[in-house]
Amino acid sequence: MDKLYIHEVGPRDGLQAEKTTVPLEEKIRWIEGLFASGVDIIQLGSFVNPEKVPQMADTDALFRHFAARKPAHVTLSGLVLNEKGLERGLACGVEMFCMGVSASETHSQKNTGMTPAEAQARIIPMAKQALAAGKKVQASVQSAFGCGFEGPIPAAKVLDIVKAYLDAGIRNISLADTAGHAQPAQVEDLYGEIRRLDPQVELACHFHNTYGLGLANCYAALKSGVTYFESAFGGLGGCPFTKLPAGNVSTEDLVHTFQRMGLRKDIRLDVLLDVARQVSAFFGRELPGFILKSGSIVDFQGKSD
């Protein structure tokens, strides 16, 4: 099996809907903990209008702070929605640009103010510009497994967006379960269809735990050849522009699951748990992650008891 990449999105997706603004210094402390854990990619923030998402107002400052301070093994990613965001990201040190199109008309309008077709017409030239600048690009299909407003999303709509990405030379494709509607058989089917389009494609997944199937869907994705897994510390987060925002798959739960399967033993689960405890203490509430509450049954070398 190819290496599995853990893409920690807590500093972005985990925090974007929180009403209590996290000070820059606190974010820096949490991110330094994530560096020490051994995760591969950290999404520091999104380049959005700070009036709409105040929690992301310091995204540029975070990238500038860490541009010369990050370990070599970590890639810094950032989410962009438009050309202005791409321009900001190129100026402050983003290494991996994440951008996407929603397969849901309603979610697309609420999230970006554009239809899926309008968003795609802008995203693909942006992706090409980032690739030409020597940056990594991950293109996603949001609401790929269903929409809280519209219900089921036809697989053909998702695959049409994926085909446009592949035709544009984008080879890292993520499916995002924005509303948490995915179920394992559906996950295997949809990723199987993408692999038939391009057997060499790099596949990524982003599941929300709205209905309790997040880890089951991650396992289905793993079986389907997905190698990039997005998750958030403590299971925090959720899209503020979907009908029922709910947390992401917890990074500690995901890593714990992989380590019980003999995978990614190099990641320091104890360090991840410490970061999640810091986040929980800051917000003054219990976070959704299970291992944060129950404790681990693997030791620090990833061995099961």
Distances (CA, A) of 294 to 205, 253, 256, 290: 26, 10, 12, 6
Residue 239 bears catalytic tag: yes
**Residue position matching structure tokens 């795609």:** 120
**Strand, coil or helix: what is 213?**
coil
Torsion of Cα atoms, 172 then 99 then 104 then 167, to 10°:
-50
Instruction: Fill in the amino acid letter for 79.
Output: L
Catalytic residue from among 92, 147, 205, 239: 239
Is the CB of residue 22 less than 8 Å from the CB of residue 15?
yes
Q: How many helices (H) and strands (E) does the chain have?
A: 11, 8
**Strand, coil or helix: what is 102?**
strand
136 burial type by CB count under 10 A (0-12 exposed, 13-18 middle, 19+ buried): middle
Distances (CA, A) of 211 to 182, 183, 197, 249: 9, 10, 30, 11
H/E element holding 137?
Answer: strand 136-142
Distances (CA, A) of 237 to 28, 199, 264: 18, 32, 24
Q: How far apart are CA 177 and CA 143, in angstroms?
A: 5
CB-side exposure of 272: number of CA atoms within 13 Å?
A: 34
Active site residues: 239
